[in-house]
Amino acid sequence: MKLGQIEILEASCNIQTVEDGRGAIFTWLPDEAIVEFNLIYFQPGKVRGNHCHPEFKEYFLVVTGTVVMVTKDENGNEINMHAGSGTCFATPPGVPHVIHAVTQAVYIACLTKQWDKCDKPIVHEEFRKDKAIWLKL
C-alpha cells in the first residue's frame, strides 16, 4: 500500500507469540539498513515535519495515538492518511511530509543515514500557510 510516494509497511505476526498468552510480537521489514532511531512525543494539534530529507529514507512507526500523515503525490497534489498505532510509513529521500497529531502521539523515526553525518539532513518546505484545512478526515 502507498500514500503517494510513501510506502506503508505491513507488519507480520508470528502467531505463536499470541498463542503463548504473553501478548504478541509484530515485525516490520525495512528494505534498507536503519542506522539511527529517535523516539518522538508530540501533543494534539501540533505539527512535525513540513520538510524532506535529501540524504536518507525515514521510517515512521506510530506507537500510540492518532496522526494524519500529509505528503504530495507524483503530480504535486497534497494527499493525507489517518493513521494509528502500528502504522509504519517509509518516506523516500526528497519526499515532502508532515505529521499532524490528532491526539497525543508517540512515534519512532528510523533513519537510513545518521542525521549528524548528513551535509543537509533537512530541507524545509511549507505545503500551505493554512495548515488547518489539510485534515480531511
State the cell numbers at 43: 501533543
> Which pTM does this prediction carry?
0.87
Provide the number of structural domains found in the chain: 1
Asked if residue 136 belongs to a domain, the reply is no
Per residue in 107-126, pLDDT (tens digit) is 999 999 999 999 999 999 87
Per residue in 36-83, pLDDT (tens digit) is 999 999 999 999 988 999 999 999 999 999 999 999 988 988 999 999
- CA proximity to 57, closest of 108, 89, 91: 91
CATH number at residue 52: 2.60.120.10
Domain residues for the domain of 94 are 2-130
State the cell numbers at 76: 504535486
Taking the alpha carbons of 28, 41, 45, 85 in that order, is the dihedral positive or negative? positive
